[in-house]
Amino acid sequence: MASDAPNPISVQMARGSYQFKVENSTTKNLAIGEFITTPKFSVGGYKWIIKYYPQGSNAENKGTYISLSLEVLNSKSVTAEYELCLLNKYGKPTSKSWIKSIDTFQPSWCYGRFIKRSALESDYIKDDYFIIACSITVRNETCAMLRSSSFGVFPYNLAEEFRVLLERQQDTDVTFELEGENISAHRIILASRSPVFRAELFNSMVETNCKCIKIDDMNPQVFRGMLHYMYTDFLPDIEYLVSEGTSDMNIASTILYQHLLVAADRYALDGLKALCEIRLRRTISVDTVVSLLDLAEQHNSRSLKEECLEFIAEPKNFVKVALTKEYASLGNSCPSLLDELRWKIESAADN
């Protein structure tokens, strides 16, 4: 082949997994906002680093949390699926220190409240060290080399193949009607992912024999998002679900993730619920915190609830939140939340 001919080889996915050992005693006394960086590592033709903030990246948290930031160095924008977590003293990841997401890095995502400093000290440090683990999958249309597989081994991606199966609607055997729209799926996949679907599709005579099942209280976009997670283990890109011409993508995505959390709770999809909690924790503000707190209480979302309570308990935030109509109505709809908030404020004052 001529040397100036275009390279005919392309790769759709490139993956990499890394672990970094961090010494606690030499890093824990850094000031708030100060960080150390991991060595550079390569995934999909891009250079990456992780920044670790021992006392957190934001002064507002007063050193209560550690922060982690995942950053791409040699690109203005790249979309990647990733997992970021700490390994506990037994070398295992835990749900409270685990993030799984798909985002566009421009060039970084920072998790300011990754985990409490006290939890790091008690559960993750062994012999003065703890482990940061990271796994990244880059979506790349024309990556010139296989960067994450051994020689002769094609980088199969089960999640991608299942996504294609869903999108092409191949060999589907059940259809759901939502707001007059039909969406088809595969019974065996839904049943394997959700005990609720398993009971509905195989244990109930009505749904077992029914080719089209009507769902009255969920819109099609939310159902599609839930199906995408059930087939791939990831949330879809937000543009995949939000209608064209939407003026404020931030508001639209917040509403969507709220509805997805409700759907996840309904169908016992704990992984989807955790992913929605992670996304919604990013959106906490004076304007959203009360509705998110109410949502977390109704659907037993402990991490989101705790984050909302801690946000409101901050004196500067409480003054603003207490003046909103949503906060005034919270006392009528769920007075127990106000009791928990008072306890949180009193505890913060004592400390």
- Element holding 257 (H helix, E strand): helix 249-266
pLDDT at residue 17 is higher than 70: yes
- Fold: same for 13-139 and 162-350: no
Residue 277 pLDDT more than 80?
A: yes
Distances 285 to 138, 289, 290, 312 between C-alpha atoms, Å? 31, 5, 9, 9
Asked if 46 contacts 32 with a C-beta cutoff of 8 angstroms, the reply is no
Residue whose C-alpha is closest to residue 116's, from 94, 145, 138: 94
Q: What's the average model confidence in pLDDT over 44-49?
A: 89
pLDDT band at 246 (very low <50, low <70, confident <90, very high): low
Q: Can you tell me the distance from the alpha carbon of 313 to that of 295, in angstroms, rounded to the nearest whole number? A: 18
The answer to whether the pTM exceeds 0.75 is no
pLDDT in tens, 137-158: 886 543 433 333 334 444 456 7
Instruction: Decide if 232 contacts 102 (C-beta within 8 A).
Output: no
Chosen CATH of 13-139 out of 2.60.210.10, 1.10.3720.10, 3.30.390.50, 1.10.10.10: 2.60.210.10
Do 273 and 304 form a contact (C-beta atoms < 8 A)?
no
- The percentage of the chain sitting over the pLDDT mark of 70, rounded to a whole number, equals 84
The model's pLDDT over 212-233, given as tens digits with 9 standing for 90+, comes to 889 988 999 999 999 999 998 8
pLDDT in tens, 259-276: 999 999 999 999 899 889
Nearest CA to 135 out of 184, 85, 82 is that of 82
Residue 256 φ/ψ, nearest 5 degrees: -65, -45
Is 187 in contact with 212 (CB distance < 8 Å)?
Answer: no
Task: Please provide the average confidence, as pLDDT, over all residues in the chain.
Answer: 82
Q: Pick 162-350's CATH classification: 3.40.50.2300, 3.30.710.10, 3.20.20.70, 3.90.1150.10.
A: 3.30.710.10
Q: Domain map of the chain by residue range?
A: 13-139, 162-350
Amino acid occupying residue 248 = D
The answer to whether 48 and 73 are in contact (CB under 8 A) is yes
Q: What does the pLDDT look like over 75-114, one tens digit per residue?
A: 778 888 888 999 998 888 887 788 888 788 888 888 888 8
